[in-house]
Amino acid sequence: MAKITQRQAGSQNIVAFLDMLAWSEGTDNGRQSTNDHGYDVLVGGQLFTDYQKHPETLVALPKLGIKSSAAGRYQMLKRTWNALREKHGYRDFGPLNQDFGCIELIRGRGALADVMAGRFQDAVQKCRKEWASLPGAGYGQHEQKLERLQAIYVQAGGELAS
């Protein structure tokens, strides 16, 4: 069997981290009735079908006393997506661009090198203000437990730094 390179391990860690974020945000964790692995989920659980642009749907969340435009696998807000689209030239809100956008958000939080190197806890700490479901986010929404997120990450093929 060929030895896996550091670059290949880093790429797999990115994929696993994205899968963990989708699970954490509740878009791809088996509870949704979607075949698109969460790329088609609005905050609150409704689905959308048009990937031409961010759905821009403002959903009331009475339990939290807020309205949110979060959508897609990584629950990106309309304003966040629009900034990413403008900066990187994304033509649609399709799955590939959602993945690219999510990676850019991780990079923007200074966590991409941590993700690639398997420094899971450091990456989550740096990303917690981007995703309300991460532990320590402090947005008043349900935050997942770090241990459970790490287990999801490892189950998705992520490797932890020694």
Q: 134 near 124, Cβ under 8 Å?
A: yes
Residues 6 or more apart in contact with residue 140 via CB below 8 angstroms: 64
Catalytic choice (25, 130, 147, 159): 25
In this structure, the dihedral spanned by the alpha carbons of residues 84, 27, 118 and 126, taken in order and rounded to 10 degrees, is: 50
Taking each helix axis from N to C end, the angle separating 120-127 and 146-155, rounded to the nearest 10 degrees, works out to 120
User: Tokens in use for 110?
Assistant: 């200074």
Q: Which residue has the tokens 């398997």?
A: 118
Query: Does 147 participate in catalysis according to the annotation?
Result: no
Tell me the one-letter amino acid at 60. Answer: A
The separation between CA 17 and the C-alpha centre of its own chain, rounded to angstroms, equals: 8
Distance CA 57, CA 41 (A): 11
Catalytic residue list:
25
